Structures are given as structure tokens and as C-alpha cells.
């Protein structure tokens, strides 16, 4: 019984990972910020093949920013750096939201299909780590100066007479970003606090740090447990979890900044040496290695979709950009199509509600859609987007005289506009974006076709950039928004996705 793990396990934006094992199953949580539904739960039986099994919530909050109303948004905000734990038959997770200044705790007895119950606590707990210690529970948080706060047993409030204090001050000398991203464990009589830090001396890249003590509130020893970039641009692989298999083998899952595609996860072996969880093989991240776990079917993270749904429920790979308006999209109004109808006015695609997105993946990937523009109204703009702060779109805009312009736009405005008279005759247009993340070249190219087989490039290649105002790798999305009047609609016939030029099939219930 052997399985080969190949790194990275996803060449896609799956950051701030936390992993636990319950029985023979591994569960992973990651950051999804302003995309909804949010807080994706992934499952694996062998650490190599993972699938999204659900989301914790449909929305965090219902307000103007999450609804993209009045020019407000929550890019770079929302859920991030979540801690996942299992204790006494209950799954718990927690995270902070900078935009709401709240600490969120969710719980369920069934992580795969159960409902999550939510409670909130005022205040921020930066990069929190839950630690259950006998019948007490703590949250450990902070950057550099690490605090420990005791919660009530049901995790609904800060314990009024509990511990709430500075736990330790992490290294300052030669450190640009002091320790953060805590993961806390109690193993064989030691308390372990696992962090990321970014030194300004030596290799000057992010690395993994462990602190340990036999007394939770006592003095802590410190050790660098991993410092490697796997040969990629001195971008250290760090921040994440350690965990064991049922047979007692230990592994870590950490992530690496990888340019415009985002922050990508790696599974790495762990050896316990003198009571320290040392990551990698002799300190190096292996490209591949064997694990004593069963083979399972690989299920892709990003998939094609024929939109052959019997009800208005999106597939697990899809997420909306911010909260959707469920009255303005449908699979059932025109069976076999995704219909997006405009319901509010905006002059910017980043404020377009009901943009439906998936991740992009390296080394290369391609997204293709066919769009019926028959029912667009004056001022409408619809199409395909490479979504980040520095975005690019290819699509159709309706001019005040009713003529339709084929456009490629970027954050700085329209790069090129082509008036296609035959588009008015057919109303059907094919759109394509090609993403190239090889060696962080990070270029996107935009195409259209009115014949269904001949692709014409439009505009210039987009230099994609990972920027912190969105704090997310590039996604590809389908959009439609109104600038003049609402009520116009477009119908997307399909979404075809190719990874490294190989068509990724849709889910079984959405066959070609």
C-alpha cells in the first residue's frame, strides 16, 4: 500500500493551510477571504489526492461591502488563517476578520455534511491557533508578541477569570517579519508552537520555526525546523501544520508564495529528532516521495462545467466574488446555461456582483466560454475575467446605440476595442483566456471567436501581479454588469477548462 506524493500538491492558491487527521481521513482548511461560499473543507485519504467536500458558510456577513454596494467591497478581508481542530467528537475552527473586528468560532459534529454553528467574540486574534489542554481551551495568537487567551469550554466567549496574557516574545534580531501563523500542539509532554518568520539576515526568506516547552506558560526553547525554497526564487516554503498518520508517520503541509498564481501548498515528511519536528529530507523539500497510504482517485481542483443542473446549486469548485444575489442568476431559466442578470448599476468589473469564479493553476491553464448576448441591454458589459486587482477582461459591451463592441479591458481602462458587425447578427461569441505561470512569467492572453474554431487575440498580454489589496491568486470568472439600466442578461453555454493543454472533465453529473 503505497502512494506517491508530488509537490506542489496544488499549483494553485490554497494558502494558510491547517490539517488534522480523524481516523484514517485527513481534513484541510484554507483561506478564501472575499469569495463565497467560504472556508473550504478538503479531504484526503493519502495526502496526495484532495477534494473539496464543502464550505463552512454561505456568507460571513450581510452588508454593503460584502454585497459590493455603493462602491464598497471586502477585497483582501474576510476569512483567513483558520485553525481547525477535533476535540471530544466535535470539529472546531476559528479565524478573525479585519473588516468586522471580530473573532469567529464554528463547530459541527459532522465535518463532511453537517451544519456549522457559529459564535463570535469581539476583537482580533491574529493568525489564531486553538489548543485544547485537558478540559481547558486556549487561543494563541499574534505577530512577534504572542498572546494566550483562555476561552470558555464551549468556545463562545473569553473566560472571564481565565488566562489572558503575553505568552512569549519571539526573536527580534535580524528579523523583518517576526513569528506569526501559529499552530499549537501538545505532543509527548511538550507544548509546540509552530510559526513562520522572515529574517533579514542569512538566506532572507520565510522559514519555519518551532518553540517548545514542557510548561504551557513556562520558558520556551526555539529551533529553525525548515528553511528551503525547492529552487524557486528564494521563496521559502513555510506556515502550516504538522500531523501524523494512523501508523505514526509524521508530515507537514506548508505553502509557498508563487507569483500571480498565488500561494501553493506542499506536503513534506517530518522526522522527530531530539524531540523536534524537523521538516523535509535533510532539510530539503522533496519533489516526490512515497507514503504508506492507499491510492485514491485524483479529483481536480478546477473543472469544466456544462451547466446541466436541475436546480440552482453551483458545483464545489465554483465560488462567487463576494456575496451573490441569488435572485439574479439561474441554471433553470434556460436549462443547460448559466444566466446572469444585472440588478444594480456600477461602472467597474471589480464591483460587479454575481461574478462566478474558479482558481487558476500552473504551469499553464486555459479557460473558454461561449456566451449568448441576445438579451444584453444598453451599457451592459459581460464576459470572461482574469480576476485580481490588476485584472484583465475579454467580452462584449453594448453601446448607447445598441451596437455591441468586443472589448479587452484592464484595470487602467480599455486596451483595445473592436466593433464586430457580425456579432450583432449572431449574438454568439466564444471567449478565451490563456494563463502562463511558467517560471513566474505570469502572463495572460485574451482571445475571441465568432466562428467557433478560429481564435483571434485581442489587446495586449496582461502582466499579472499578486497584490496585497486582494491578497489572492488570480481567479478566472464569468461576469455581467450594468452601467445604464438593469435587467439585461447573458447566457453562458459552458465553461471549458484546460490544464497544461489537457481538458479537465466536469463533474460526473455535468457530462459533455
Residue 453 pLDDT class (50, 70, 90 cuts): confident
Claim to verify: residue 263 and residue 338 sit in the same structural domain: no
Cβ proximity of 221 and 234 under 8 Å: no
Does residue 353 lie in a domain region?
Answer: yes
Claim to verify: residue 179 and residue 229 sit in the same structural domain: yes
Grid cell, residue 152, equals 470558555
Residue 415 pLDDT class (50, 70, 90 cuts): confident
Claim to verify: residue 268 and residue 329 sit in the same structural domain: no
Does residue 485 lie in a domain region?
Answer: yes
Does residue 487 lie in a domain region?
Answer: yes
Averaged pLDDT, 489-508: 90
pLDDT exceeds cutoff 60 at 422: no
Asked which of 400-409, 412-421, 424-433, 466-475 is least confident by mean pLDDT, the reply is 412-421
Query: Tell me, what CATH number does 81's domain have?
Result: 2.115.10.20
264-274 confidence digits (pLDDT tens)? 999 999 999 99
123-182 confidence digits (pLDDT tens)? 999 999 999 999 999 999 999 999 999 999 999 999 999 999 999 999 999 999 999 999
Claim to verify: residue 252 and residue 350 sit in the same structural domain: no
DSSP code for 114: P
**φ and ψ at 423, to 5 degrees?**
-65, -40
- Whole-angstrom CA distances from 459 to 248, 395, 417, 433, 445 are 55, 12, 8, 12, 8
Claim to verify: residue 241 and residue 351 sit in the same structural domain: no
Cβ proximity of 352 and 391 under 8 Å: no
- Nearest Cα to Cα of residue 102 among 39, 158, 148: 158
Give the separation between CA 170 and CA 27, rounded to whole angstroms: 29
How many folded domains does the chain comprise? 2
Residue 401: what pLDDT?
Answer: 85
Residues in the chain: 512
pLDDT exceeds cutoff 50 at 362: yes
Q: 231: which residues sit within 8 A by CB, 6+ positions away?
A: none
Residue 506: what pLDDT?
Answer: 80
- Nearest Cα to Cα of residue 91 among 54, 51, 143, 49: 54
Residue 443: how many CB atoms within 10 A of its CB? Answer: 16
Give the separation between CA 502 and CA 410, rounded to whole angstroms: 28
Residue 510: what pLDDT?
Answer: 45
Beginning with the edge strand found earlier in the chain, give each strand of the sheet holding 207-213 in spatial order. Answer: 175-187, 190-199, 207-213, 221-226
Domain boundary pick from 241, 271, 291: 291
Residue 207: how many CB atoms within 10 A of its CB? Answer: 23
Collapsing DSSP states into helix, strand and coil, what is residue 7?
coil
- Nearest Cα to Cα of residue 501 among 373, 339, 364, 407: 364
**φ and ψ at 422, to 5 degrees?**
-70, -20
Residue 497 pLDDT class (50, 70, 90 cuts): very high
pLDDT exceeds cutoff 80 at 228: yes
Claim to verify: residue 261 and residue 345 sit in the same structural domain: no
pLDDT exceeds cutoff 50 at 512: no
Claim to verify: residue 287 and residue 336 sit in the same structural domain: no
Claim to verify: residue 328 and residue 271 sit in the same structural domain: no
Claim to verify: residue 460 and residue 355 sit in the same structural domain: yes
Helices (H), 354-494: 421-426
* 165-193 b/e (C-beta count within 10 Å ≥ 16 → b): eebbebeeeebeebbbbbbbbeeeeebbb
Grid cell, residue 397, equals 459591451
Using DSSP bridges, classify how beta strands 263-273 and 250-257 pair: parallel, antiparallel or unpaired.
antiparallel
Does residue 282 lie in a domain region?
Answer: yes
Cβ proximity of 279 and 236 under 8 Å: no
DSSP of 322-333: SS--GGGEESTT
Residue 420: what pLDDT?
Answer: 54
292-351 confidence digits (pLDDT tens)? 999 999 899 999 999 999 999 999 999 999 999 999 999 999 999 999 999 999 999 999
Residue 413: what pLDDT?
Answer: 79
pLDDT exceeds cutoff 90 at 421: no
Claim to verify: residue 399 and residue 488 sit in the same structural domain: yes
Domain boundary pick from 274, 291, 308: 291
Which residues are registered as beta bridge partners of 419?
405
Grid cell, residue 394, equals 475579454
Residue 120 pLDDT class (50, 70, 90 cuts): very high
Does residue 297 lie in a domain region?
Answer: no
Does residue 308 lie in a domain region?
Answer: no
Does residue 397 lie in a domain region?
Answer: yes
% of residues, the chain, pLDDT over 70: 97
Residue 509: what pLDDT?
Answer: 47
Query: Tell me, what CATH number does 328's domain have?
Result: 2.60.120.200
- Nearest Cα to Cα of residue 183 among 84, 283, 255, 274: 84
- Nearest Cα to Cα of residue 220 among 250, 270, 182, 164: 182
Q: 308: which residues sit within 8 A by CB, 6+ positions away?
A: 335, 336, 509, 510, 511
- Whole-angstrom CA distances from 118 to 105, 107, 112, 114 are 6, 7, 17, 13
Residue 271: what pLDDT?
Answer: 98
**pLDDT, averaged across the chain:** 95
Grid cell, residue 293, equals 497510504
Claim to verify: residue 343 and residue 287 sit in the same structural domain: no
Grid cell, residue 74, equals 471586502
* Dihedral angle computed from the Cα positions of residues 285, 290, 291 and 296, in that order, rounded to the nearest 10 degrees: 110
Residue 332: what pLDDT?
Answer: 97
Q: In terms of residue numbers, what domain contains 411? A: 319-510
Residue 508 pLDDT class (50, 70, 90 cuts): low
Does residue 307 lie in a domain region?
Answer: no
Residue 1: what pLDDT?
Answer: 79
Residue 507 pLDDT class (50, 70, 90 cuts): low
Claim to verify: residue 277 and residue 408 sit in the same structural domain: no
Grid cell, residue 126, equals 491574529
Amino acid at each position: 500500500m503505497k502512494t506517491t506524493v508530488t509537490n506542489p500538491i496544488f499549483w494553485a492558491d490554497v494558502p494558510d493551510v491547517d490539517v488534522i487527521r480523524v481516523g484514517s481521513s485527513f481534513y484541510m482548511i484554507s483561506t478564501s477571504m472575499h469569495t463565497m461560499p467560504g472556508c473550504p473543507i478538503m479531504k484526503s485519504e493519502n495526502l496526495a489526492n484532495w477534494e473539496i467536500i464543502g464550505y463552512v458558510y454561505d456568507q460571513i456577513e450581510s452588508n454593503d461591502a460584502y454585497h459590493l454596494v455603493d462602491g464598497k467591497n471586502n477585497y483582501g478581508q474576510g476569512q483567513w488563517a483558520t485553525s481547525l481542530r477535533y476535540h471530544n467528537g466535535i470539529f472546531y475552527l476559528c479565524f478573525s476578520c479585519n473588516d468586522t473586528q471580530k473573532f469567529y468560532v464554528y463547530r459541527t459534529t459532522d465535518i463532511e455534511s453537517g451544519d456549522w454553528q457559529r459564535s463570535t467574540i469581539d476583537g482580533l486574534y491574529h493568525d489564531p491557533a486553538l489548543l485544547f489542554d485537558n478540559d481547558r481551551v486556549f487561543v494563541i495568537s499574534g505577530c512577534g508578541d504572542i498572546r494566550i487567551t483562555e476561552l470558555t469550554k464551549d468556545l463562545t466567549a473569553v473566560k472571564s477569570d481565565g488566562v489572558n496574557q503575553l505568552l512569549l516574545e519571539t526573536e527580534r534580531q535580524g528579523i523583518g517579519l517576526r513569528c506569526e501563523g501559529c499552530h499549537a500542539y501538545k505532543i509527548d509532554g511538550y507544548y509546540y508552537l509552530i510559526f513562520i518568520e522572515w529574517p533579514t539576515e542569512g538566506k532572507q526568506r520565510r522559514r519555519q520555526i518551532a518553540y517548545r516547552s514542557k510548561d504551557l506558560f513556562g520558558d520556551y526553547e526555539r529551533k529553525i525546523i525548515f528553511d528551503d525554497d525547492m529552487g524557486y526564487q528564494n521563496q521559502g516554503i513555510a506556515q502550516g501544520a504538522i500531523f501524523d498518520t494512523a501508523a505514526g508517520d509524521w508530515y507537514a503541509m506548508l505553502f509557498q508564495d508563487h507569483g500571480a498564481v498565488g500561494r501553493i501548498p506542499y506536503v513534506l515528511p517530518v522526522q522527530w529528532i531530539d524531540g523536534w519536528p524537523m521538516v523535509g529530507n535533510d532539510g530539503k523539500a522533496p519533489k516526490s516521495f512515497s507514503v504508506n497510504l492507499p491510492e485514491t482517485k485524483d479529483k481536480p481542483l478546477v473543472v469544466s462545467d456544462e451547466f446541466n443542473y436541475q436546480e440552482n446549486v453551483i458545483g464545489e469548485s465554483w465560488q462567487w466574488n463576494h456575496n451573490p444575489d441569488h435572485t439574479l442568476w439561474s441554471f433553470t431559466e434556460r436549462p443547460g446555461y448559466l444566466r446572469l442578470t444585472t440588478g444594480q448599476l456600477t461602472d467597474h468589473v471589480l464591483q460587479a456582483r454575481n461574478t462566478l469564479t474558479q482558481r487558476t493553476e500552473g504551469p499553464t491553464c486555459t479557460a473558454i466560454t461561449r456566451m449568448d448576448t441576445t438579451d444584453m441591454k444598453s451599457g451592459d458589459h459581460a464576459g470572461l475575467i482574469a480576476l485580481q486587482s490588476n485584472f484583465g477582461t475579454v467580452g462584449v459591451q453594448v453601446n448607447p446605440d445598441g451596437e455591441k463592441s468586443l472589448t479587452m479591458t484592464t484595470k487602467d481602462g480599455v486596451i483595445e476595442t473592436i466593433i464586430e458587425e457580425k456579432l450583432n447578427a449572431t449574438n454568439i461569441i466564444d471567449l478565451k483566456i490563456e494563463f502562463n505561470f511558467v517560471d513566474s512569467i505570469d502572463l495572460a492572453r485574451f482571445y475571441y471567436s465568432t466562428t467557433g474554431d478560429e481564435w483571434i487575440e485581442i489587446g495586449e498580454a496582461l502582466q499579472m501581479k499578486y497584490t496585497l489589496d486582494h491578497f489572492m491568486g488570480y481567479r478566472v470568472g464569468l461576469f455581467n454588469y450594468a452601467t445604464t439600466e438593469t435587467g439585461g442578461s447573458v447566457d453562458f453555454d459552458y465553461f471549458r477548462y484546460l490544464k497544461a493543454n489537457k481538458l479537465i472533465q466536469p463533474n460526473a453529473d455535468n457530462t459533455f
